[in-house]
């Protein structure tokens, strides 16, 4: 399975995916990394692992659609079986989602459907939530609204701020993203008209609790 990963920043999830592929925990290889931002740390992870990578700077395009078409063109030569958004901070249009729907995953730092969009950890703290977390989901045209696959819950501690919470949530992300990627690469996970399915069974509306699988 050829995996393409799209990033915008530190790329710690990308690194977890690269490591899981090289350790044999994912039946696939990261064939290409694209970043919309030059100079980010995630590109160094790709370089260190000898993985082809490119910057497609969104600021060079007049519209979201034109940028998305450039992404599609850049991905074409690697013929990705799976496209993974890992901290990719651009809203995608149907120009991109259409060609990859069903093989496009995202990770979002909240327990979806809570807190789509930005500043998820601060919003969980402000709401007085007892827990935060992260969710891997299939990408559809609804922002952070595609069918969830798996989530990890992280208890909120009394002294937490958004940064401390983000660090603990990310540590769980590095477990659940490789898990979901392996489900997909091994043919167990699919997006159907009824939603996400694992081993043929439709998943619960919020996805599966990672604690049952890790
Ligand atoms: C991750 O925590 C991911 O959940 C979040 O960005 C971080 C990227 O970290 N994604 C979003 O907020 C998407 N809306 P990383 O670059 O170290 O993988």
Task: Tell me how far the alpha carbon of residue 136 lies from the centroid of ligand 1, in angstroms.
Answer: 11
Task: Tell me how far the alpha carbon of residue 164 lies from the centroid of ligand 1, in angstroms.
Answer: 14
Classified as helix, coil or strand, 136 is strand
Asked if 108 is an active-site residue, the reply is: yes
Ligand 1 atom nearest 42 alpha carbon: 16
Q: What is the pLDDT of residues 38-84, one digit of tens each?
A: 999 999 999 999 999 999 999 999 999 999 999 999 999 999 999 99
Residue nearest to atom 10 of ligand 1 (CA): 87
The H-or-E segment that residue 149 falls in is strand 148-155
* Omega prior to 113 cis, within 30 of 0: yes
At residue 91, the pLDDT reads: 95
DSSP character for 213? T
Q: What is the pLDDT of residues 166-189, one digit of tens each?
A: 999 999 999 999 999 999 999 999
**Long-range contacts, 200-203 (Cβ 8 Å, 24+):** 203/147, 203/148, 203/149
The answer to whether 131 touches 157, Cβ cutoff 8 Å, is no
**Given 108, 121, 137, 174, the catalytic residue:** 108
Verify whether ligand 1 is closer than 6 Å to residue 109 (CB atom).
yes
pTM, full prediction: 0.97
Ligand 1 atom nearest 108 alpha carbon: 4
CA dihedral 166, 168, 174, 180 (to 10 degrees): -90
Verify whether ligand 1 is closer than 6 Å to residue 86 (CB atom).
yes
User: Dihedrals φ, ψ of 183, to 5°?
Assistant: -55, -45
Band of pLDDT at residue 22, cut at 50, 70 and 90: very high
């Amino acid at each position: 399975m050829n995996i393409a990963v799209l990033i915008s920043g530190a790329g710690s999830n990308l690194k977890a995916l690269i490591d899981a592929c090289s350790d044999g925990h994912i039946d696939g290889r990261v064939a290409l990394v694209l970043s919309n931002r030059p100079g980010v740390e995630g590109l160094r992870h790709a370089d260190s692992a000898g993985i082809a990578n490119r910057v497609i700077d969104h600021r060079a395009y007049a519209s979201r659609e034109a940028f998305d078409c450039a992404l599609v063109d850049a991905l074409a030569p690697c013929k990705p079986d799976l496209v993974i958004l890992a901290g990719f901070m651009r809203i995608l249009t149907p120009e991109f989602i259409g060609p990859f729907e069903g093989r496009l995953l995202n990770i979002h730092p909240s327990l979806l459907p809570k807190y789509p969009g930005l500043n998820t950890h601060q919003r969980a703290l402000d709401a007085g939530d007892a827990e935060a977390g992260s969710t891997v989901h299939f990408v559809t045209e609804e922002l952070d609204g595609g069918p969830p696959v798996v989530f990890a819950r992280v208890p909120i501690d009394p002294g937490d701020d958004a940064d401390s919470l983000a660090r603990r949530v990310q540590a769980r992300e590095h477990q659940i993203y490789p898990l979901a990627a392996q489900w997909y690469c091994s043919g167990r996970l699919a997006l159907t008209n009824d939603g996400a399915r694992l081993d043929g069974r439709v998943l619960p509306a919020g996805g599966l609790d990672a604690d049952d699988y890790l």
